[in-house]
Each structure stands twice: as C-alpha cells, then as structure tokens.
Amino acid sequence: MTDTKAEIKIPKLETKKANVFYGDKQVIKEVDIQIEKNSVTAFIGPSGCGKSTFLRLFNRMNDYIEVFRKEGGIYIDGMEIYDKSVKVEELRKMVGMVFQKPNPFPKSIYENVSFGLRIQGINKREVLDEAVERSLRQAALWEEVKDDLNKSALALSGGQQQRICIARALAVKPSVLLMDEPASALDPISTAKIEELIHKLKENYTIVIVTHNMQQAGRVSDKTAFFYVGNLVEYGSTKNIFTNPQEELTERYITGRFG
C-alpha cells in the first residue's frame, strides 16, 4: 500500500509538548517528536538525560512511579494513550518492551514466550505452539532451544535470556518494540546478534532503542534523537546526526567531549 500525496501520514509514535515531572523535578522538557512506522529510532544522550523515562512514556511504565506526572500529548497511531478510555493492558499488547537487564520469568522457555498469549486467555496448545516457534525464530533462538523448550529460562546464558525476552515480547505481535539499552548487560557477540535481530525486525515493527553506545546507534538506527537534561536537542537521520550535527551540543556529545 503506497501513500499518495493526498493522504496525511500519521506518525506511528508522536509526542506534542511532552513534559514529565517526578514530584517537583522536571525531567522531560517540552519534547515534540514524530517517529515513523517501521523505522528504528535511537535515543542517545548522557546518563540521566531522561531518555529511558521518555521511552517509557509510550507504554506507560512510568505509571507505577508514584510521583510521576506528565503534561502534553503522547500519541500512538494518532491516539492519545493517556486518555481515560485507554486500557493500559491493551496498550502494552501493542507496544512491547525489552529491558536493560534480561528478566525472563523463572519458568520454562515455553512458558516465558507464551505468557503474553495466556494472559489474554489463549490456551489452545496448537496456537501457543505456533506462536512460541514463530517468536523464537524471529528472535534467532529457535535452533538453539527447540530441543528442550521445558528447560528453565534461567539456565540460559545472558545473551540467550535477552533473546527470550525479545521473543516473549514478539509473541503477542505488537506493532511497536521499545528497547531500553537491550545489549548493555551483554557480551560483544550477544550484542552483535541482537543488533542483527533489530535489522531484521525493522521490516515489521517500529523500534525505538535507548542506547548509551553511540556506535551502536550508528549501526542500527535510521534516525537518532539526542537528549540532554530532559531536552530533545536534535533529531534527524542518523547519518546527519553523526556526520553533520546542527547543534553544537550534539557535536560535543558525539565527539566525546562529555559523556
């Protein structure tokens, strides 16, 4: 389906004047951003700049923080996701998340990957079997674990555990995948596998990845957003950001003058 010029393209993810407060402290300041469907966007910036907090706006994981307060509009497919009519559980089926430290459930591989479907009431063995295999294949883990899906997920290596978490997120067929420094706790080989994964997943998913590793941002993303102390300093194609940044702050960050 091609877009004609007459169609208005709604961005997949969007924020308008997003502000986030933890109590009195403002951690995100007036951020406007538009993220296209089926792209990979990297959020970079020094520690504490708010990129993880901003990422978590899209699946409302900040809701659990008591002092959290947001202002402004957060939209997915044009729909305000903080609206009272939105059920947060439904949102999270559309928007999956992979965390920094792999956090598989202390259960079998099969139970981990099928969890998202079982909480929706889907219990038929054939349906779950198919979903588990599909997701593990997508996460490039099927060949390694197919012989014993009842093995405990905790018995796998760190890189494998993270891919279980990715498979688990993919099993419910979300349209957006949020990844919060997914490879920072992993060794270089696992990291490379995950980056390769992101390349393949891009065809079918909109991916946003927070990373403190600029080379990684350069390798995997189409567009990059640079955050600094809660502000979105610059947002553009990854190539431009890294070779021809418009803002001086961006240039200083990517050349390592501060980190």
Partner 1 sequence: MNSVQKNRLKDQLFKYLGIFSTLIGIVLLAVFIGSILVDGLGRIDWDFMSSLPSRKAEKAGILTAWTGSLWIFGLTALISIPLGVAAGIYMEEYGRKNRINSILEVNITNLAGVPSVIYGILGLEIFVRTLRFGGSLLAGAFTLSLLILPIIIVATREAIKAVPSSLREAAYGMGATKWQTVWMQVLPAAGGGIATGIILALSRAIGETAPLIVIGALAYVPFVAKTPMDEFTVLPIQIFNWASRPDHAFVVNAAAGIIILLGITFLLNGIAVWLRYRWQKKVKW
Binding site for partner 1 (CB under 8 A): 59, 61, 64, 88-93, 96-97, 99, 101, 103-107, 115-116, 118-120, 152, 154, 165, 168-169, 172
Residue 84 or 257 having the CB closest to partner 1: 84
Which CB, 152 or 184, lies closer to partner 1?
Answer: 152
Q: Torsion-angle region of residue 154: left (phi > 0), alpha (psi -120 to 50) or beta?
A: alpha
Q: Residue 178 Cβ, how far from partner 1 at the closest point, in Å?
A: 9
Taking residue 144's Cβ as centre, other Cβ atoms within 10 Å add up to 13
Closest approach of partner 1 to the CB of residue 89, in Å? 4
The nearer residue to partner 1, 37 or 107, going by C-beta atoms, is 107
Instruction: Tell the burial category of 12 from Cβ atoms under 10 Å away from its Cβ (0-12, 13-18, 19+).
Output: buried
- Rounded Cα distance between 115 and 104, Å, is 11
- Between 3 and 89, whose beta carbon lies closer to partner 1? 89
Total residue length of the chain: 259
Whether residue 150 contacts residue 109, with contact meaning beta carbons closer than 8 Å, is answered with: yes
Residue 51 CB burial class (10 angstroms; 0-12, 13-18, ≥19): buried
CB 231, min distance to partner 1, A: 27
Q: How far is the CB of 118 from partner 1 (least distance, A)?
A: 8
